[in-house]
Structure 1
Amino acid sequence: MRLSTVILPDRRWSEGGRERWQRAEELGFHTAYTYDHLSWRTFRDGPWFGAVPTLTAAATATSRMRLGTLVTSPNFRHPVTLAKELISLDDISGGRLTLGIGAGGSGFDASALLKGGQEPWTPRERADRFAEFVPLLDRLLTEDVVSFEGEHYAATEVRNIPGCVQRPRLPFAVAATGPRGLKLAARHGQAWVTTGDPKLFETGTPEQSLAAVGGQIERLAKACADVGRQGAGPEKILLTGFTPDPGRPLTSLDAFVDFAGAHAELGIDEIVLHWPIADSIFDADPVVFEKIATEGLAQLS
């Protein structure tokens, strides 16, 4: 199992932002991700910086740790411009970039670009766009010249030379739980991302959550079979903080070991912990967090 973290872009680079990314590398995290949102939930009225510039800065401040988004969505991204940014960031990082990508939700990102009176996309509309977005982005990152005309997106003789440092392109980690999204993960994902079952977040139990994640993994395997993908399929990533008792993995080293071990038995390959942020839903003891980062995986073996 791998252990990673997600660092929210809520701090000025000159006021501790740089140090958090460098400390993440020192602690040995496999990957440090960041959210790709315009703003997010309870952080809406506070500082919040862009994902791509933040990751670019992090790429120059670190040298070994992988970097990524968790996740990018079509809510305010276009595959043509996103591809150019990703190729640039993959180059700057020396081939250390992973793109976490999902269909997006109904939060602030979904309405920020709308004119007055426009309604945000429905779940079906988001799924329709995602189904077009991912294959087009895949092509843009692997082919030198791409032309495409779909229902939602177009690309006219778009050139992306020299392409990614990572070949044939940087890896996709596709966040999905529904049938259409799981098939996209099966076709295009080097990894798959889950946060568990959102229906269980407030009223479910840890045991119910484990069963739900296990069911998602089974459906992912079926999606792989349906599209003819052989082998183990995409690697499986769990972003913590959204399952019942969300803070439990970070309350102690033993709690983390129990949590991670139970999910490892299901087939989860990577656990992602939120970097502690005081006075927020991601509040945690920094000392315990660092102890988990340095000793947690060794306790699982």
Structure 2
Amino acid sequence: MTDKAPTTQPPLRLSTVILPHRRWHEGARETWVRAEELGFDTAYTYDHLSWRVPFRDGPWFGAIPTLTAAATATERLRLGTLVTSPNFRHPVTLAKELISLDDISGGRVTLGIGAGGTGFDATALAPSTQEPWSPRARADRFAEFVPLLDRLLTEDTVSYDGAFYSAGAAQNIPGCVQRPRLPFAVAATGPRGLKLAARHGQAWVTTGDPKLFETGTPEESIQAIRGQVDKLGAACAAIGRDVAELGKVLLTGFTPDRARPLESVEAFVDFAGRHRELGFTEIVVHWPIPETPFATDQKTFERIATEALARLG
């Protein structure tokens, strides 16, 4: 692989993450409707049982019911998780919920999926004395979770006995509205996860290099992400797949730039343009939440949603 950026820039989509921290009839519904009105391509939500401070001890609702409600409140907007993980999900039950959501939404669902982390919900189903899974243990489960979920969403009946998951003649008729199944956006930076993205993904997701978040520079972040893109290309080449077939999704807010790209339309256009040069096809921004790390001026945010892509050309 070369470290040169692609010579042609792909079309770029702008999407948002709406955290499930408000009651549906106390502002949440209006947010999802507004996301559609502003023209966002996709509105995602985080799939956790609870999340980090300052949300840890406050309201937090389930991802699938939230997306189901959003599906009935919108018509065009794509919907998705960013991301679902094996931390508390089982492929058999998850597949049934996703097929139902895909049906209710009329085929507007994308599954963002990752190996999970060590956050507050990592041990929610475990004995109180159990430590979170190690990175290797999470990767082991993820490597089994994704292919099994792929089968469950594409085959009428699946039986499987694995090291971590089983399926006993699990039926998923009639399957997804989207064929052969709803798309997977696989979050990965390590070699095993990138192989899963190459083989099973319709898109790949990154938040950048977490080691650079506190002390890195935007330039260092660009180089690190360029390296991730190159490794994704190598994983695709190893199985004879064209890396251009995969969408490339950047979830913002976790690079050294932090919230600066949302300070103005001009700042966002510069940020998005530099990442589009790396091959990214979708930029995801967090819906503003006052008095949190995602605090952003709402008017500026809406201007970015409605003006930025046109300025990028």
In the aligned structure 2, how far is the partner of 1:151 from the partner of 1:114? 17
Return the offset for 1:227: 1.8
Counterpart of 2:188 (choices 176, 179, 187) is 176
What value does the CA root-mean-square deviation take over the aligned residues? 0.7
Give the aligned partner of residue 92 of structure 1.
104
Structure 1 residue 3 corresponds to structure 2 residue 25: no
Give the aligned partner of residue 286 of structure 1.
298
Give the aligned partner of residue 121 of structure 1.
133
Return the offset for 1:116: 2.7
Aligned-partner residue type, residue 23 of structure 1: R
Aligned-partner residue type, residue 41 of structure 2: H
In the aligned structure 1, how far is the partner of 2:138 from the partner of 2:243? 30
In the aligned structure 2, how far is the partner of 1:131 from the partner of 1:107? 20
Return the offset for 1:18: 0.3
Aligned-partner residue type, residue 41 of structure 1: R
Contact 1:198-1:242 at 8 Å conserved across structures = yes
In the aligned structure 2, how far is the partner of 1:152 from the partner of 1:114? 14
Matched position secondary structure for 1:147: strand
Superposed CA offset, 1:179-235 (max 9, x none): 000000000000000000000000000000011111100000000011221351311
Matched position secondary structure for 1:267: coil
Aligned-partner residue type, residue 39 of structure 2: G
In the aligned structure 1, how far is the partner of 2:71 from the partner of 2:82? 16
TM-score (norm 2): 0.95
Give the aligned partner of residue 66 of structure 1.
78
In the aligned structure 2, how far is the partner of 1:38 from the partner of 1:54? 13
Contact 1:59-1:67 at 8 Å conserved across structures = yes
Structure 1 residue 40 corresponds to structure 2 residue 51: yes
Flag structure 1 segments of 5+ consecutive residues without an equivalent: none
Give the aligned partner of residue 264 of structure 1.
276
Contact 1:65-1:96 at 8 Å conserved across structures = yes
In the aligned structure 2, how far is the partner of 1:67 from the partner of 1:117? 36
Counterpart of 2:286 (choices 261, 265, 274) is 274
Give the aligned partner of residue 26 of structure 1.
37
Structure 1 residue 134 corresponds to structure 2 residue 146: yes
Matched position secondary structure for 1:131: helix
Taking only the aligned residue pairs, the percentage that are identical comes to: 76
User: How many residues end up aligned between the 2 structures?
Assistant: 301
User: Relative CO higher for 1 or 2, CA cutoff 8 Å, sep ≥ 6?
Assistant: 2
In the aligned structure 2, how far is the partner of 1:155 from the partner of 1:31? 31
Give the aligned partner of residue 91 of structure 2.
79
In the aligned structure 1, how far is the partner of 2:78 from the partner of 2:267? 26
In the aligned structure 1, how far is the partner of 2:232 from the partner of 2:74? 34
Find runs of 4+ consecutive structure 1 residues off by over 4 angstroms.
none
Change in 2 beyond 3 A, CA 1:115/1:166: same
Matched position secondary structure for 1:125: helix
Matched position secondary structure for 1:41: coil
